[in-house]
Structure 1
Amino acid sequence: MRKKIVAGNWKMNGTYEDGLKLASEVIHMVQDEVNSDVEVVLCTPFIHLSSVGKLTKEVPNVHLGAQNCSEYTSGAYTGEVSVQMLRSVHAEYVIIGHSERREYFNETNQQLAKKVAMALSAGLTPIFCCGEPLQVREAEQQYPYVTQQITESLFDLSEDDMKKVVIAYEPIWAIGTGRTASSQQAQEMHKVLRQHIANRYSEALAAEISILYGGSAKPDNAEELFACPDVDGGLIGGASLKSRDFLQVVKACK
């Protein structure tokens, strides 16, 4: 049975003190109110990783994640953070290929393939993001667009490594725009992605992979989205910055 996962992506928000307060609140709430079948991941800015890692490592179903990693092991790459650095502060997950990294920093499918391989080599679980912008959705080309992202970044992996990847579908047109993909639209894309993986590997492997919805899930729509048969949780942006809102999203993942 595949994992139910709700990951909070704080993006570039909050001071060091804000982050510790938020992490502490979420951890206490999860311990008190959430079924342990759901894995909660806090994907913090780099400055919080070490301190938040000390809080999460004692809590079975709350995990630490980073928002990015380098495709290089080490060296003269000013401003970059390696997977070994992430492991050294108890990170277990890392977001790779978020739409903002693709759009603002021009990360390519080929570069992301290197990052995925690097993360796996260090024992980190990649949360690999994929998704289409508005013009692609309006042209009804979303399925070939998103499956190509999966093909070019993930399909060189062995079966054993592919099983370790979590996928997050981001309808870019629904992030921070006030629009949200309907549960039907989310389910349709998740089903297409799962079948695409099955065609490359096997139905059994595809059935094991968690595919998260990453398009502005909030307390008022999370339960409907997470009820879809191929939606295994969410990669949560804005709602992850308020502990009570985030908890409500987590609790919607049943």
Structure 2
Amino acid sequence: MPTQPETAQTAIPHAQTDYSAWGMYQAAHWVVKLVMVSLTFASFVTWTVLVFKLIELAVARGRARRSVRTIHNAPSLEAASAQLFTQTDPAAFMAQAALIEYRRSDPAIAAAGPDGVKERTRSVLDRIEVQAGARIRKGTGLLATIGATAPFVGLFGTVWGIMNAFIGIAETKTTNLAVVAPGIAEALLATAIGLVAAIPAVVIYNHFSREIAAYRQSLGDAAAGVERLLSRDLDFRHIAPGA
């Protein structure tokens, strides 16, 4: 009696039966698994950076606004520096650094004029602003990297998975869609995870770019306020008391 032809299911004894995301992960090739784990970790990093940077930026912008308001309302550079003495934000450092430079230059101002102290103060304020911007940007580079590379990493996992699916087709000598579909689905899952990791990273990076630009604008306002206080103090040096 002739035997029944071997079905696709018996031809591939380990054919996938669990079509959930976890089942597809377990059935995937180890390279595809590695890609999925890497992308999942990248997604975790994205959300971790989001939480920490939201808190950091909220605190930094709040301090900067208070310091800018203090600088704007202060009658002199020394008064602003005294009011901000206990503060540790870059705007407060600007007022203190400008006062230090002003005091160091005081003996030479009468002979050399005010231009030198203004130039040196501008240089100090610029460096404080640049350093503060570099500190506040820490972590956002990870978001840019994840957003740019995650889709391609996922695509690599997909290509590898589909390649293995076609190898399976060649080995089993069958084109039954029920046989090849699980392997292709596993491969496409890697691309899906790559997009899940990349899209939030890009959106969050763009959001932080805008927030950091607003923060740096606050620092620019602080620097401009400090320069106005310094210029005013220099002008009042030439006014005799009681005049």
TM-score interval (norm. to shorter): under 0.3
Q: Give the TM-score taking structure 1 as reference length.
A: 0.20
Q: Give the TM-score taking structure 2 as reference length.
A: 0.21
Q: Quick check: which has more Rg, 1 or 2?
A: 2
Larger RCO, structure (CA 8 Å, separation 6 or more): 2
